[in-house]
Structure 1
């Protein structure tokens, strides 16, 4: 409070000094003269003292704001700890939120996926972690020891959110946004380019009109004063209609909502839409171009939040072009006008006030950038937690974890609100400092101007012009603070999209490679080695050959490398050593799209779009006719099931196909594969969710028949060995290596790992068949005895029905009669049946 009082006092002293200098200048001669050396020295010393006091006030307010910020942070941290303690007291078990929430010093990708096959941030130049386009490790990384991992100590991981503002100038920081400029200039439309040029001309014209408003106001006041002095009161003659009309015209044209501003805003609409369309489409296409390692490790909510920032970038560039830059030009024009129309003293005062105001705004806003970034990231985290919880609705219900999810979401809201409160407090502190600076300068100028008018050195119209200029200057300066915060927020929000654009795919086409020629389906792997991360390779020297029209099955324990084989075959990854050839062509020497066009995949977990069944089926072949879709569904044994739905093929499948069962989704995936008609087919547990009868039907129609499998190369991953006995070769994988290879009969004769697996599964299936037969016979005996379960179970049923829901207990004579009949019947049946059947 003391320093604020000193600031007002120093401003008053400096104003008095200016008045004295002006008075002495005009009193010395008829024409005003420049002040002497001593007067200038006194003026400089007074300005210096004012600047020192102002700096102390600003420093004090900044320290007070920082203390308030850290107090709010501590309160938020304590609230978070209390929230976590409450979660633990509910008995849900200890949860490491550090692994769930991305803090500001952790990359979006975990280190597990940020190694050899992690994506690369071009901003770092790919140092020590960049892979060659053929998938081999860079010069400074070893795939054996895993030193190529992407850690914070070596280089910034892609999609990494820094905790602080970049330690570089604002010009360098803005230069990073030049990445977006190609998407914001309508290079494909001459009409839109002309619109952009015309909008800039309007913006320049607005600057002229805005500055003419205070000047014309002064002219009008002088004309009115002259009219009053010349004409008798009450006559009404001498009205300055010309000055009044010009002022009204300038008022109509000026301002953001004036005629010029409205015309510019209307003309800018198609340009803005073009920018948003180009930027959003480019971001969406870029995400789809990224490799599998990125999508396996990202959080969907984070990526969607980054994609939604296209509007922020567009708004940011529009605000900078048509609001921030003009606001910086307006004070400069005001200074020039004051120097020309008044004298250098007025111009110097406005210059000191303006540059102090801008300097204060930029410095305080820069210190508040971390607070705003915390708020934006807390908002992202809240959205991500909400998205994860809603998507995992069924999992939450399975474990009765509603209270845990509620507390987790409340914790993110508390964190966001604490960060939001810090931003609001900082904004208010900055507004106080801005008003102090502007009011001090305005008070000084008004005192000097009023004293000039009192001495007769200035007219009332000129004083009115001074008032109008100051009032008009206050708008741009105040809006500069507001728009500086808005631009800063847009830049912080756009950082995520900027980082997303800098992520480069790890599997890309080599320059100038051709498409794969018409595929015949001949596959050859030659000593292929591949690492995900760490010292242990996922695949070790894999070599095998699949001739066209043959079937190759991959079996083995989980984690043996079966899915990795499929991923390398589909070029989700590139092998580090060895080669993968299709029809004699190395897959690295042809385009990725041509390889994928030749391959059809039925994944174990089939994902559907939230559209109709027909839309999902035609996704494989947009030109397929309805009859072709129906025939494919008949081959996949799903046509009758689809027709039983109320809307048939127009039935919507729900989010990710949740309205369909696992078996229905797999059969639709097989039908979709039939429509694609690829030469190479990869089935990853394609019938794992089907019952045995349906599985046999599909196998006889597709693999053994003349539909999908004819003259096509099949690669199958299977855990039920009974589904691959027809395969031409079976490859047994263990820890990424081939330990056995041959046909079903050859592997059984070998008596190795496959034979052991076959024996275990055969015994388990035999026991299951015996259990079903015994249960069926027991149910038959119970029905004959008219006791136990009344049900419609037939002789072929497995007999697993709920007797508690539909049992009839017989008592009295009926029970005795039934028991007697059951005794004779059951004795005869048990005598005539083998010893394996039980009652």
Structure 2
């Protein structure tokens, strides 16, 4: 049975053309550049339209003066033809060079906006996201922005200007018949291109969706490389990836067939139109109604017109695809985070570090309550532990304290300030955490520790390494603190990663500390080393400890016992043992398990 995919972002049948309006503010950053570029654009089109006239005069001069013409006039026209053609290229290059900064800056600004917005979205979104798919959406979207800006401004608009100029010239110089044939040809070409391209949009979407799915599957498998190896499922993963690639292959094939139909239809219209125009011109030359130069001019105009017109078809197809990609990327920016700061929220001010949970209730889904009417206070400088079986809501309390979710009822306060009334940034600045699963960036050990406070100095980092008992480990590494830790810290052991997490928190130096089952997956030796480091770090700090092993929190000032989302007992270790309640039974069970384990080791 294959892994199921997360729900895809809904796609509308029609492309949202309003994304063009959303791009305009990003273009206005360089108004002067755009103005000069547009002047170059206009100069390019005037030169392009004038070029066939130079060719006409050259042909007529040569035709009339075949026997006795001097070499000067045709030679001058040849020079003029070369100068005009060179000016077309130069103006186009100047235009593109000026505009490249506008395009790239817009791509940069939009990419940064999407990146920032992703970090503003709530934890629930990121728990359900498809990392590979989102990565491709952003990549295709930013590429689409660059394409759209460049070709909308410098291909579609100038081509339309050139079409209008050519039709006007043909009408006034050669009569309405030439203008009508040109209008009919262009109208047929545009209508067919739009119709066929709209039909193709579904295939573009299918290719993108298949591409995102295959990329998501590949990244998901690579990230979980160790799990794949543990269960010898390399072939299973390869078959799953190949299934996604097969869907992509089929979508690409259908896409190519539809492109064949589109290109074939466009080629037929162009060929028929060119034949009709040249036949009409040849007839008039034969009847002395126009010169041979006029025939060459009309031929040049038609070739010159259909080259960008044929390119216009390609541009239109690509713009439709780009709009689809940009629309999907902008869908990300339209997602509103579920947890938001109130208007004009103040920064949290911590003077003591007292944390209060007041009648807090919470659920992820209405039919499954997680926490029910939880109330407790962690006084300044106290160490409070939370224990309970899996699913009792321990880690959820941490998520609520960091305000990854908002409580459904009740409130959480720090030094009397409700956390939903202050900025999330200032709240999280004052809380440090050593999580159960420490995730490190694929950078140096030094960079990962410095991440606690990126403005801290080398002395602070070295002190943190010492306090977290990492010194011996760092000294044993050939490259010391410059050693790369691997993706997600895979090159480090569990205990080493936990000590890096402690060092990172020391660098942050917050008044409130959270330890979320920081030793649950460690061996006894590593656990004792981590506990020693935690005790040293937690001195004079308010500490909240989520614990699985009760032996690690016997020195806590207060122990909260959670059961099925309710706070059923609290007190210090000795007090709870005397009560012989739920905590007492948990303690006896763990002690019994420990004794059995030790007996087996001794046997």
1:483 corresponds to which residue?
A: 315
In our comparison, the structure showing a higher alpha carbon Rg is 1
How far did residue 585 of structure 1 move?
0.6
2:235 corresponds to which residue?
A: 403
1:795 corresponds to which residue?
A: none
Q: Assess if the C-alpha contact under 8 Å between 2:52 and 2:300 holds in 1.
A: yes
Q: Assess if the C-alpha contact under 8 Å between 1:177 and 1:498 holds in 2.
A: no
Structure 2 vs 1, CA of residues 712 and 499 (structure 1 numbering), >3 Å: closer, same or farther? Answer: same
How many residue pairs are counted as aligned between the two chains?
Answer: 602
2:130 corresponds to which residue?
A: 299
Q: Assess if the C-alpha contact under 8 Å between 1:519 and 1:598 holds in 2.
A: no
Separation in 2, partners of 1:552, 1:238: 100
How far did residue 368 of structure 1 move?
0.7
Query: Is 1:531 equivalent to 2:363 in the alignment?
Result: yes
Separation in 2, partners of 1:237, 1:397: 82
Q: Assess if the C-alpha contact under 8 Å between 2:502 and 2:534 holds in 1.
A: no
Find 2:87's aligned residue among 220, 233, 253: 253
For 1:200-349, list aligned pairs within 5 A.
200-228=38-66, 231-232=67-68, 236-237=70-71, 239-254=73-88, 258-308=89-139, 309-349=141-181
> 1:623-669: per-residue Cα shift (whole Å, max 9, x none)?
43444333322322222122111222111111110000011101111
> 1:764-817: per-residue Cα shift (whole Å, max 9, x none)?
222333444x34xxxxxxxxxxxxxxxxxxxxxxxxxxxxxxxxxxxxxxxxxx
Q: Assess if the C-alpha contact under 8 Å between 1:635 and 1:702 holds in 2.
A: no
Separation in 1, partners of 2:94, 2:322: 25
Find 1:466's aligned residue among 284, 295, 298: 298
Aligned-pair Cα RMSD in Å: 1.8
How far did residue 236 of structure 1 move?
4.5
Find 1:185's aligned residue among 28, 32, 40: 28
1:155 corresponds to which residue?
A: none
After TM superposition, the score normalised by the length of structure 2 is 0.96
> 1:339-375: per-residue Cα shift (whole Å, max 9, x none)?
1111111111111111111000000110011011111
Matched residue SS, 2:368: coil
How far did residue 237 of structure 1 move?
4.5
Matched residue SS, 1:554: strand
2:10 corresponds to which residue?
A: 161
Separation in 1, partners of 2:382, 2:371: 23
Separation in 2, partners of 1:396, 1:314: 39
1:175 corresponds to which residue?
A: 18
Separation in 1, partners of 2:429, 2:71: 88
For 1:358-397, list aligned pairs within 5 A.
358-397=190-229
Matched residue SS, 1:552: strand
Q: Assess if the C-alpha contact under 8 Å between 2:388 and 2:548 holds in 1.
A: yes
Query: Is 1:725 equivalent to 2:554 in the alignment?
Result: yes
Structure 2 vs 1, CA of residues 208 and 701 (structure 1 numbering), >3 Å: closer, same or farther? Answer: closer
2:448 corresponds to which residue?
A: 616
Separation in 2, partners of 1:687, 1:406: 35
2:272 corresponds to which residue?
A: 440
Separation in 2, partners of 1:407, 1:698: 42
Separation in 2, partners of 1:483, 1:392: 41
Structure 2 vs 1, CA of residues 405 and 565 (structure 1 numbering), >3 Å: closer, same or farther? Answer: same
2:598 corresponds to which residue?
A: 769
Separation in 2, partners of 1:307, 1:568: 30
Q: Which has the higher helix share?
A: 2
Separation in 1, partners of 2:216, 2:596: 48
How far did residue 431 of structure 1 move?
1.6
2:460 corresponds to which residue?
A: 628
Find 2:380's aligned residue among 548, 561, 567: 548
Note the residue ranges of structure 1 that are not aligned, 5 or more in a row.
Answer: 1-93, 108-159, 187-191, 776-839
Q: Assess if the C-alpha contact under 8 Å between 2:440 and 2:485 holds in 1.
A: yes
Note the residue ranges of structure 2 that are not aligned, 5 or more in a row.
Answer: none
Query: Is 1:415 equivalent to 2:247 in the alignment?
Result: yes
1:734 corresponds to which residue?
A: 563
